[in-house]
A and B are shown apart, each in its own frame.
Chain A
């Protein structure tokens, strides 16, 4: 079943507004909706919202045997589910076109662009490595799920701390058994399991990341007089006639550029969009860093 497309008057209204350089939510064409990052009690639990689009990302780590062909590398898997909870357009079981795009894009941004230093996840070569599981839940879709999901995943990776281990010979001991160990100061969270801490336990350590890519999606329309729109809202996303997604880090390195079909663009316009994304990435990077720092300061690391 195809989802019902927006009605004709809605479409006409949006397009005529865009032609007059107006967006329905009052934003500038190249303005991102307000970003909110909230962190859960657990490390590596991040809820990211872009306007009313909300995505939850969660990371957990466990020890596994490495793949035989890559004995020195840890494993990262991404589980994403876009359930009907996000929007009635999604069905359980059968992935929609959009869902395929989002999962493939996440895979490219997080895994293929080598965000996490996989070799640092190795505990004992050929015997034990860390397996990171990134789970993404789309809580509500009001346009541009992709950027929101990418941001949530990246921030979760930066927020996460993995337990420290001690290797003596072939013996692996977890010296900080659970990231729960780090507790926020809020008093109501006393339901957390009380842990038997070893006297030698150490603080969990952050993942070593090569870089932090951010994803930006621009929508454009077949009418040449309409400029590209950054961070499309739900209606804009449904009515656009072409998308270009750019993932890049604050060091001016592109990780993924994806414009699959849609309205053709002048090469110069593509480069203009890319250069604009470069500036945005820097701003977003400082924002993310400051939010992470704030959160970190609010937590106490109990090392006895």
Chain B
């Protein structure tokens, strides 16, 4: 089906009207609608939408899952049956879901300063609402935002982006259509140090091309970071403004 669609036409436009290096619209909602979560984020990259709730740090449910020197980070991923064009229910034991949650866990384990909360548990629930390419990217970005909102100490943001290559032209932020057709790589960067915490590629690609799109994705991660930062800043401003206008809180309260 996809072979009939031009990935990149002669005018340099992609199937959804974007240019080569253009990212999709990023929509971020950080205000939960009636959720009791400590941190919440809904993020969409174009038509891919992911919602994340963070609970905790809170009392661990199972004593066997506690660590005496750090918090246990528990991540559960759900993919809604209606999220893709082909309706498909994925159970909790699905290999793909397990892989995503394991990837998220190992991505965020070194980022969360969990040693500050011994014997507690941090629960992260990821719900995929719409899929149109860049699923892992959206999951990572939304989880970062939800964690930052929950006031959980992180060493840095983690910003992920996909990038692919069409014959010799690199593309950024692929849709599902492009993702199915092109070799693509997902890269998660930590903007402060510029280090890479996640790289995944699942298609055949020459080493030299890989290097090109790998570097490109690293650059694009910084743009995503600016967007995420802006959203966090706006929310914090809205939360803090009334408190400031009504007098500063007494010192020593709610400190760590």
Contact = CB atoms under 8 A, between A and B. Distances in A.
Contacts of A100: 95, 98-99, 102
A248 interface: yes
B14 interface: no
Interface of A is mostly: mixed
Contact of B110 (A2, A262, A271): A262
A21 B66 CA distance: 35
Contact of B196 (A103, A112, A267): A267
A95 B103 CA distance: 16
Interface string A26-55: 000000000000000000000000000000
A264 B205 CA distance: 23
Interface string A93-126: 0010100110110001000111000000000000
Contact of A256 (B64, B96, B201, B208): B201
Contacts of B102: 97, 100-101, 260
B204 A267 contact: no
A244 interface: yes
Contact of B195 (A211, A255, A256, A266): A266
A151 to B, nearest CB: 18
A100 B205 CA distance: 24
Interface stretch (B126-134, B209-217, B227-235): B209-217
B207 A261 contact: no
Contacts of A108: 202
Contacts of B78: none
A263 interface: yes
B71 interface: no
A248 B110 CA distance: 28
B206 A253 contact: yes
B197 interface: yes
A261 B103 contact: yes
Contacts of B214: 267, 270-271
B25 interface: no
Given A261-B197, A264-B193, A274 B95 contact: no
B144 to A, nearest CB: 13
Contact of B202 (A112, A259, A274): A112
B105 A261 contact: yes
B210 A260 contact: no
B112 to A, nearest CB: 11
Nearest to A100: B98
A271 to B, nearest CB: 6
Contact of A262 (B106, B203, B204, B206): B106
B224 interface: no
Given A266-B194, A266-B195, A271-B211, A261 B201 contact: no
Interface size class of B (residues with CB under 8 A): 35 or more
Interface string A164-206: 0000000000000000000000000000000000000000000
A244 B106 CA distance: 12
Contacts of B200: 257-260
B196 A261 contact: no
B83 to A, nearest CB: 20
B240 interface: no
Interface in A256-287: 256-267, 270-271, 274-275, 278
B107 A261 contact: yes
A264 B190 contact: yes
Contacts of B40: none
B125 interface: no
B206 A264 contact: no
Nearest to B187: A267
A254 interface: yes
Contacts of A1: 64
B203 A265 contact: no
A252 interface: yes
B185 A257 contact: yes
B110 A222 contact: yes
A158 B197 CA distance: 35
B109 interface: yes
A241 interface: yes
The 6 A-B pairs at the shortest CB distance, nearest first, are namely: A261-B106, A261-B107, A264-B195, A260-B103, A264-B197, A257-B201
28 contacts: A97-B102, A104-B96, A222-B110, A242-B110, A253-B206, A253-B207, A254-B207, A254-B210, A255-B204, A256-B201, A257-B185, A257-B199, A257-B210, A260-B102, A260-B103, A260-B106, A261-B103, A261-B104, A261-B107, A261-B110, A262-B197, A263-B197, A266-B194, A266-B195, A267-B195, A267-B214, A271-B211, A275-B207
Given A100-B102, A256-B201, A259-B197, 16 more contacts: A100-B98, A113-B204, A222-B110, A241-B110, A244-B199, A248-B207, A252-B208, A254-B205, A257-B199, A257-B210, A260-B200, A261-B104, A264-B196, A267-B215, A270-B214, A274-B211
